[in-house]
Chains A and B, each alone.
Chain A
Amino acid sequence: MAKKLINVSVNGKAEEKAVEPRTLLIHFLREELNLTGAHIGCETSHCGACTVDIDGQSVKSCTHLAVQCDGSEVLTVEGLANKGVLHAVQEGFYKEHGLQCGFCTPGMLMRAYRFLQENPNPSEEEIRHGMAGNLCRCTGYMNIVKAVQYAAKKLQEPVTA
C-alpha cells in the first residue's frame, strides 16, 4: 500500500511525513512525533484519552487517520503551555486536584481547552455534558468540574500588563 505524503502543523510546527493510510492519528503523534501526552484507553472510541484539537475542534485521534490531516492544524497537550506558562486549564486541573493517575488528563485538558472557547461561561451541567466524551477512572469527575470552572474564571479575568 502506497504511503502518502502529508503536511501537517502540530503545535505550530510544520511536519512533512510519509504515512501509511491506515495509520491512526494517535499512533502518528505518539510514535512518529514522540508526542506521548495523548493516550490510548480503548479501541471503541469511547474514552477520549486521545483527544486532540484539529482545525478548531476536539477530535478523538484514535478514530481519525493521520493521512486525513494533510493541511490541518493539530494541537496536543504539549502545545498548551505558552513559553513555560501553564494554560488556564492546566492550572485549573492542578489547583483543583483534577487528576490523579494522569492518564486521562491530556485528553481532558485538550477537551476543556476547546470547550471553554465553545462555552466560556458554562453551568455545572453544561460542563458535565461538554466533557462527556472523556472517561476518568480516578477522580469521580467532581474536581474536574471544579478545574474547568477555575479555568473558565481565569480565562475571563482581564489581562493585566
Chain B
Amino acid sequence: MIPPRFEYHAPRTISEAVALLGQLGSEAKLLAGGHSLLPMMKLRFAQPEHLIDINRIPELRGIREEGTTVVIGAMTSENELINSPIVQAKVPVLAEAAQMIADPQVRNRGTIGGDIAHGDPGNDHPALSIAIEASFVLEGPKGRRTVPADGFFLGTYMTLLQEDEVMCEIHVPAFAQGTGWAYEKIKRKTGDWATAGCAVVMRKSGDTVTHVRIALTNVAPAALRVEAAEAALLNQPFNATTVQAAADAATAACDPAEDLRGDIEYKTAMAGEMVKRALTKAWALCS
C-alpha cells in the first residue's frame, strides 16, 4: 500500500516532459492515469525516483478527425473513448471494448496511451490497436516518429517506446462503410483482465472476406496478430470450415502463461473460442 518516496514533476508541455526524461534518465517514469504504475509502486515492484506527471499537458488530450484518420490524444481516458461521438461513429469497436476495461472509476483515470505503453499482455488496447491498424506518434529529443501497432509490442512490459520518448497520439484509420468488428473477452468477473480475448475487424463482398485483422489478448507474452488465421479467411467464403481453420491457426500461435486464470490448455482453447465468437459477430456487422 505504501509507495516508496519519489520526486514529483508536472510539466505543461510535451517538450518539457521529454527534456525531463532526458535529464533524469532511467530513474524517471511518466505518470499518466496512474492505474498501473501506482499499483506497482504500492507493491514496490517499481521504485522510480522521479515521477513526471503528464496529466497537465493539454496537447496530449482530445479526439479529432484529420481526413479519414481519427486522432486520439494519448491521455484520453477510457470513459472519454466510450463517450466520444467520433469514436462511436468512426471506430465503434474502441467505444464498445473500452466498456469491458476495468470499472467506472478506473476508466476515469486510465488512459488509452498508458494502457498501450504499459505493454501488459493482459491489457485490452494492444490487441485492439493491432486489429484497427492504429499507429502511435512518439516524441523524443530528436523529434517525432510514427510506429505501427503491429510490431510495437516486443514482450511482457516491453514496447518500441524508448526511455526518452512520450507517446503523444494514437492514429486510427476510420472504419470504411460496412466494416464489421468485435472484441470478445472472457473474464472471471467485471473489471478483471481477460483469460483470453480476441479483436477482429473485417470487411466482406458477397459471401467472401475481403479484409480481416485478428489479434489476441493475454495468450502470449505480448498481444498477438495472427496472420495465419487471417490467411485462412482472406478471399475465402465465410463459413464454419474457414472459421474453424482461422481458430485452429490462432490456437497454434498461442503461448499463454499458466496462472490463476487457468493453465495453458484452457487459455489456448478459450482463445480459439473467442476467435470464433468474434469472427461470427464481426461478420454479422459487415454490410
Contacts and interface: CB of A to CB of B under 8 A. Distances in A.
Interface of A: 1-2, 4, 20-22, 24, 40, 43-46, 48, 51, 57-60, 62-65, 67-68, 111, 115, 129-133
Interface in B1-43: 1-8, 34-35, 38-39, 42-43
A48 B72 CA distance: 28
B34 A58 contact: no
A38 to B, nearest CB: 13
Nearest to B104: A133
B106 interface: yes
A65 B191 contact: no
Given A43-B1, A43-B39, 17 more contacts: A1-B5, A20-B5, A21-B6, A21-B51, A22-B2, A45-B38, A57-B108, A58-B105, A59-B105, A59-B108, A62-B1, A63-B109, A68-B34, A68-B53, A130-B104, A131-B104, A133-B191
A22 B103 contact: no
A148 B92 CA distance: 30
Contacts of A43: 1, 39, 42-43
B105 A133 contact: yes
Nearest to B49: A1
Contacts, number: 79
B8 A133 contact: no
Given A44-B39, A58-B108, A133-B105, A2 B7 contact: yes
14 contacts: A1-B7, A20-B5, A22-B3, A48-B103, A63-B109, A64-B34, A64-B109, A65-B38, A68-B53, A68-B55, A129-B99, A129-B190, A132-B103, A133-B104
Given A22-B6, A133-B105, A65 B190 contact: no
Interface string B264-283: 00000000000000000000
Counting chain B CB atoms within 10 Å of each CB, which of A44, A59, A133 scores highest? A133
A58 B106 CA distance: 9
Given A65-B34, A68-B53, A133-B191, A45 B5 contact: no
Contact of A132 (B4, B51, B191): B191
Contacts of B55: 68
A70 to B, nearest CB: 8
Contact of A22 (B4, B39, B99): B4
A67 B39 contact: no
A131 B1 CA distance: 24
A28 B193 CA distance: 30
Interface residues of B, number: 28
B8 A4 contact: yes
Interface in B74-95: 79
Nearest to A40: B1
A44 B43 CA distance: 9
Given A45-B39, A48-B103, A133-B105, A63 B34 contact: yes
Interface string B236-267: 00000000000000000000000000000000
Contact of B106 (A20, A67, A111, A133): A133
Contacts of A2: 7
Interface in B95-124: 99, 102-106, 108-109
Contact of A51 (B4, B38, B43, B105): B105
Contacts of B42: 24, 43, 62
A1 B47 CA distance: 14
Contact of B105 (A44, A60, A68): A60
Contacts of B108: 57-59
Contacts of B35: 45, 63
A20 B7 CA distance: 9
B103 A133 contact: yes
- 9 A-B pairs with the lowest CB-CB distances in the bound complex, closest first: A133-B103, A21-B8, A43-B1, A133-B105, A57-B108, A132-B190, A1-B5, A132-B103, A60-B105
A36 to B, nearest CB: 17
A51 B107 CA distance: 13
